[in-house]
Structure 1
């Protein structure tokens, strides 16, 4: 093959890749921004939860292992409030979350509560927090009926993977782009350089996080193999693959055996590993089962190594290590979830996730500016739609998130369904900012106004935390409450950055005196 023919084929391949790369970003950029941004927040979900739940700011766990029999079991009946308990579980305290978190299923519904390691029940937190709102929004879009949200996220993730691969093919000078960023001159050039820089610099992370996300969701959205091999019995598949164990209730009442000896046996089987979650199925029944999951903070793999005991006798029922395929899946899942206790890597995940947001946002903005130049002052309905989508899914998403944090500090504790009120504030702020962006894009997207709103809300959230809890930065340092201090510092930095961008955008949109004089002279 001649050199000229090779160049021609390469040029044709890049031209063919340009269309899917462009329109994947334009059509799905809003969803990708939501998934990446909420995934970035989920990296520090425990820390954000601590900020949103002041009752849980009780200091680090220093009292050693928790006695489930003395501290946890008595609280289950208190949380159930006299209702018959069917199943329950408790998340044990750790360095990032120094409280026990309970979920109790009763005959008439579910109940939840939190308690200290010594068994003191805390007041209701009145919020879903990051762990129960931002995190599910990341992987299911809160559309769990029929796994619709999982399907959408999986489809968008595949499109993201295709966009990354096509982007590598399009950019022939990928290594030169690594060292190129022209922040001066035309805005299109700056956006393209920032888009290329964010894509090239964090490319391995983007490929890894997108691929592992697809691998995690794949068994849910493509269960054909499970149905073929297990005749549609999904429960039997998970029992075989993950080492689970289950059995129906017997209908015979029986007391629960002591849990502490079961935890000690699980530690022995794990070779010194620590428990993270304890489940009790068929509570109060002769066929009750106790499941103890291992904490994965000391490893990359998300292998929780569940150990199952008979709830009435304490005898070991099931414990086996996963096969090579399941173990590989656990490692890929661990790479995506970043549940390991490694703070430099956790920060790297967070910043890389934000870089993904920059990659997506600059791609949409570059498309908008390119169309604006090509079509003049009336770029068309398509341009306006993408501009409204870009504004609503970037600054609008920030406004919604910060509005929820502000509502968390402003809503009184006694408000009925307080957690749902916070969620309502989130969606109302998001919808409102998107509508305002759609109306304003007839002239120009309201970037400056949105950035000013982000700055005002971020600063207000930090101040409201100091006012409502009394925990100002100096006190947080004195108490070594680094999670709360970290969230406050992040809010303050967000406020400063957003205010700076807002002022710069306002200056760009306001013509100076010399420009007005030139226009007058030409008139």
Structure 2
């Protein structure tokens, strides 16, 4: 396809600037987002084995609930019954006492069980919160601000992301046929990175369009519904389903959890209930929401759909979030969430999204590499012999931010297993940001070439901490052999980082001396080089 040269040049400039402005944040979002494809297995991997007695049967659950509410009256306001217990859900019953100072909506969660003699057991040590941190990093593109501040910024980055997709496609169109399967590996490293960037971008284009569009919807979710309400009237249809409860009359006896599960399965045969969420509805009467999944449909939340259920009769009364029972509007909204979360199609789709997420992170990394080298070439053509301070800083950030993210997530994952219930969300956040900021600062001080080698090694060592933590914790930690995949993937990523360190070292020693990635004449940030030597990147 033939396009005017000036049009292609303009779109190339747009693609480069938009990419460099959003690429570092998008790397964090895609890398953390790839890990959230297996958020529940990660949480189970990082969580210590339950310290409570085995969960009582569903038939004995009413006894557990009665004893827990008698000892802890605050639980009556709202509690959950977990139909499947494991390290991530260590007890049949749990409830959370909210902390108004916790901006992440957390608090103290209590877990209850019955001892062999029937006595009540209550503990507050639950599953690790490291998976929640990774999810927040994904949602907020790594920004350490409150959710209300981070989400609009994330929306702006998503809009830049969409512009980068369109402009990149326009730039690639003139050479689409000749460069479609081109991957020229040789002495021209910049050409090799460009080919790899183009191939990754083109073949994952539908995935990136989906991510960009759905991210904008998530970021401006409230604004969209406010506009809808102003234009058409009515409240928000996208909120969580209200927990169904009769509004009048004395409360009749509620069904037992076992009866609720049986009634839901009768009405929705393909739906597998996972959690019963009890609360208070109209007039303070008992209310119930059932969370679960149906492999035939995508769901609204990352791993479950939900329905409002009458706790007295077991009848499903709210289906806006219920897979297979939604109206057209609700099903359309759910499709946005399902496409973003990859929660349809089972393990095959989750692995595909995991690999596409890692490839997306690598796409932004290579894009930044190319932009920095292109900027340096323009500086040389303009007569600048020395690398400018701006180029050095951009090069250092291109190395420090991605590798700091990788190292920070790896170390805080390992800490989750070693510290167990002693590691709070705040502690995990502190570990991550300490490693992230340290790596970024190190890159700025050492320069892109040296830091590229050193931080790749740091990332590999941090990644190896994950299987090392498993060895220290011992085999008794696992509640499923499949969780060993966490350690296996960490080993593979560590090997990839070691290979990256070797390649970066070779590039620093033998590459063009005028390159941003060359260590042969690199000086501190902003300082002039000793011996100007021109050369092509």
| Same fold (TM > 0.5) | yes
Displacement of 1:25 after TM fit? 0.9
* 2:74 alignment partner, one of 64, 72, 84: 84
1:305–1:397 Cα change, 3 Å:
closer
List aligned pairs for 1:302-321, cutoff 5 A.
Answer: 302=300, 306-311=306-311, 313-314=312-313, 316=315, 318-320=317-319, 321=325
Partner of 2:160: 159
Query: Is 2:389 the counterpart of 1:381?
Result: yes
Of 333, 344, 347 in structure 2, the residue corresponding to residue 343 of structure 1 is: 347
Alpha-carbon spacing, 1:195–1:80, altered in 2? closer, same or farther (3 Å): farther
Deviation digits for residues 366-406 of structure 1 (CA, Å, limit 9, x no counterpart):
11122234435633232123223212221111111112123
Alignment map for 1:467-478 (pairs within 5 Å): 467-470=472-475
Q: Do 2:307 and 2:318's aligned partners in 1 also have CA atoms closer than 8 Å?
A: yes
Contact 2:111–2:123 (CA<8 Å) still a contact in 1? yes
Q: 2:276, 2:289 within 8 Å by CA — same for their partners in 1?
A: yes
Contact 2:238 / 2:330 at 8 angstroms: preserved in 1? no
Per-residue deviation at 1:444?
3.7
Q: Does 1:426 align with 2:432?
A: yes
What TM-score do the two structures reach when normalised by structure 1?
Answer: 0.80
Aligned to 2:186: 184
Could you tell me how far apart the structure 1 residues matched to 2:42 and 2:98 are? Answer: 32
| Corresponding position of 2:515 | none
Quote the residue 2:405 is aligned against.
397
Which residue in the other structure is 2:527 paired with? none
The 1-side partners of 2:394 and 2:92 are apart by 42
In the aligned structure 2, how far is the partner of 1:397 from the partner of 1:302?
28
Among candidates 30, 34, 49, match of residue 36 of structure 1: 30
Aligned to 1:3: none
Structure 2 residue aligned with 1:139: 139
Once the 2 structures are TM-superposed, how far is the Cα of residue 173 of structure 1 from its aligned partner?
Answer: 2.1
- Partner deviation per Cα, 1:44-80 (whole Å, 9 max, x = no partner): 111211221131699xx9x9xx954524872696599
Please give the alpha-carbon distance, in whole angstroms, between the structure 2 residues aligned to 1:465 and 1:206.
Answer: 34
Give the deviation of 1:333 after TM superposition. Answer: 1.5
- Residue 233 of structure 1: how far off its partner (Å): 4.8
Report the Cα distance in structure 1 between the residues aligned to 2:446 and 2:250, rounded to whole angstroms.
66
Residue 507 of structure 2: aligned partner: 508
In 2 relative to 1, CA 393–43 (structure 1 residues): closer, same or farther, beyond 3 Å? same
Summarize the alignment of residues 200-219 of structure 1 with structure 2, pairs less than 5 Å apart: 200-219=202-221
1:31-430 equivalences in 2 (<5 Å): 31-55=25-49, 68=58, 70-71=60-61, 74=64, 78=68, 82-85=72-75, 86-93=77-84, 104-106=95-97, 110-113=107-110, 124-125=125-126, 127-130=128-131, 132-140=132-140, 145=146, 147-171=148-172, 172-228=174-230, 233-234=235-236, 237-238=237-238, 244-245=242-243, 257-282=255-280, 287-302=285-300, 306-311=306-311, 313-314=312-313, 316=315, 318-320=317-319, 321-340=325-344, 342-375=346-379, 378-411=386-419, 413=420, 415=422, 418-430=424-436
Secondary structure at 2:78's aligned position in 1?
strand
Cα gap change, 1:81/1:112 in structure 2, threshold over 3 Å: closer, same or farther? Answer: farther
**175-184 vs 72-81, greater mean Cα deviation:** 72-81
Alpha-carbon displacement from aligned partner over 1:397-435 (angstroms, at most 9, x marks no partner): 111111212322443x474x5442222111111111111
RMSD of the TM alignment (CA)? 4.1
Q: Tell me, in whole angstroms, the C-alpha distance in 2 between the residues paired with 1:420 and 1:310.
A: 38
Q: TM-score when scaled to structure 2?
A: 0.78
1:264-321 Cα distance to aligned partner (Å, 9 max, x none): 222222134211332111299851211113413332354966443444x346472444
Per the alignment, in what secondary structure is the counterpart of residue 21 of structure 1?
A: helix
- Helix, strand or coil for the counterpart of 1:157? helix
Aligned length in residues: 491
Does 2:437 correspond to 1:439? Answer: no
- Counterpart CA distance in 2 for 1:338 and 1:185 is 39
Q: Is the 8 A contact 1:89 1:104 kept in 2?
A: yes
Q: SS of the counterpart of 2:80?
A: strand
**Which deviates the most, 171-180 or 156-165?**
171-180
Inter-CA distance 458–465: structure 2 relative to 1 (3 Å threshold): same
What is the rounded CA distance, in whole Å, between the counterparts of 1:175 and 1:118 in structure 2?
Answer: 69
- Aligned residues of 2:244 and 2:281 also touching (Cα < 8 A): no
How far apart are 1:326 and its partner, in Å?
1.9
Q: Which position in structure 1 is the counterpart of 2:494?
A: 495
1:253 touches 1:286 (CA, 8 Å); kept in 2? no
- Secondary structure of residue in 2 paired with 1:180: coil
